[in-house]
């Protein structure tokens, strides 16, 4: 270290210490402690796993407070989990379809007819090189890759919604999602796994 660095380091540390002590938090009179439950006008959020009614589900106005509303919400979440597994199965089947289409396009490109005999040697060597060094990823296709991106975006959005629902700590909602995902995988999982094998 040079003399300049040795001199500037303690000066910089002193300056930061002085600035840190001069910064004060502004109090607006609100108690911001997160020790207890959060009482809201429409519902109550409990920070632990529970079965009580009155949690907000995704929107401020969706607060199932009766037994019937809780059952209806749980059935809706169960069906929503089934839809997520159905979308995952559709995506798996489409991935297999897109892979076959890409292989066909690659084979068609390699098997193009030659125009003249003088170009035949160059084209044949290029085809052999392409055949031997097939790339691992298929080429970009607007029809395939845009649809793949949209399906992925929908799946991620649904998974974020699941995360928000789990963050309510409402055990009946969590069980509805888990059971729905399990039943959905039982119903639709074979399509995605069968498509992945072929």
Mean pLDDT over 109-116 rounds to 63
Residue 140's pLDDT band (cuts 50, 70, 90): confident
Residue 190 CA to residue 144 CA, distance in Å, equals 22
- Structural domain includes residue 150: yes
Q: What is the DSSP letter of 25?
A: P
Distances from the Cα of 61 to the Cαs of 13, 49, 91, in angstroms?
51, 22, 33
In a domain, 9, yes or no: no
Adjacent-strand bridge partners of 189: none
CB 169 within 8 A of CB 48: yes
**First CA to last CA distance, the chain:** 63
Is residue 126 assigned to a domain? Answer: no
184: left (phi over 0), alpha (psi -120 to 50) or beta: alpha
On whether residue 10 sits in a domain, the answer given is: no
**Which range among 45-49, 75-79, 97-101, 192-196 has the greatest average pLDDT?**
75-79
The number of distinct structural domains making up the chain is: 1
Q: Is residue 163 part of a domain?
A: yes
The whole-angstrom separation of Cα 111 and Cα 130 is: 11
Winning range, highest mean pLDDT, from 20-24, 29-33, 71-75, 145-149 = 71-75
CA–CA separation, 126 and 70 (whole Å): 65
Q: What is the DSSP string of 158-175?
A: HHHHHHHHHTT-BHHHHH
Handedness of CA 29, 35, 39, 40 (dihedral sign): positive
Q: Is residue 160 a part of any domain in this protein?
A: yes
Asked whether residue 153 is domain-assigned, the answer is yes
**According to the model, what pLDDT value does residue 160 have?**
96
pLDDT of residue 36: 56
Of 10-14, 113-117, 141-145, 184-188, least confident by mean pLDDT is: 113-117
Residue 5 has pLDDT above 60, yes or no: no
**Average pLDDT, whole number, for the chain?**
77
Q: Which domain holds residue 83?
A: 66-103+142-197
Strands 44-45 and 38-39 turn out to be: antiparallel
How long a stretch of residues is the chain? 198
CB 177 within 8 A of CB 165: yes
Per residue in 53-111, pLDDT (tens digit) is: 888 888 888 889 899 999 999 999 999 999 999 999 999 999 888 888 888 877 777 67
Is position 20 within any domain? no
- pLDDT over 90 (residue 1): no
Residue 184 scores a pLDDT above 80:
yes
């Amino acid at each position: 270290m040079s003399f300049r660095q040795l001199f500037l380091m303690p000066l910089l540390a002193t300056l930061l210490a002085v600035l840190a002590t001069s910064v004060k938090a502004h109090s607006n009179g609100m108690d911001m402690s997160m020790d207890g439950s959060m009482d809201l006008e429409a519902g109550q959020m409990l920070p632990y796993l529970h079965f009580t009614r009155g949690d907000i589900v995704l929107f401020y106005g969706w607060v199932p407070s009766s037994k019937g509303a809780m059952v209806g919400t749980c059935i809706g979440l169960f069906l929503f989990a089934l839809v997520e597994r159905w979308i995952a199965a559709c995506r798996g089947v489409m991935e297999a379809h897109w892979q076959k289409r890409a292989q066909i396009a690659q084979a068609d490109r390699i098997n193009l007819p030659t125009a003249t005999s003088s170009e035949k040697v160059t084209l044949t060597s290029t085809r052999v090189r392409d055949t031997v060094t097939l790339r691992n990823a298929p080429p970009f296709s607007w029809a395939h890759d845009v649809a793949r991106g949209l399906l992925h975006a929908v799946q991620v959005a649904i998974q974020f919604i699941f995360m928000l629902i789990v963050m309510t700590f409402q055990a009946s909602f969590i069980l509805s999602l888990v059971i729905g995902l399990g039943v959905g995988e039982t119903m639709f999982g074979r399509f995605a796994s069968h498509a992945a094998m072929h």
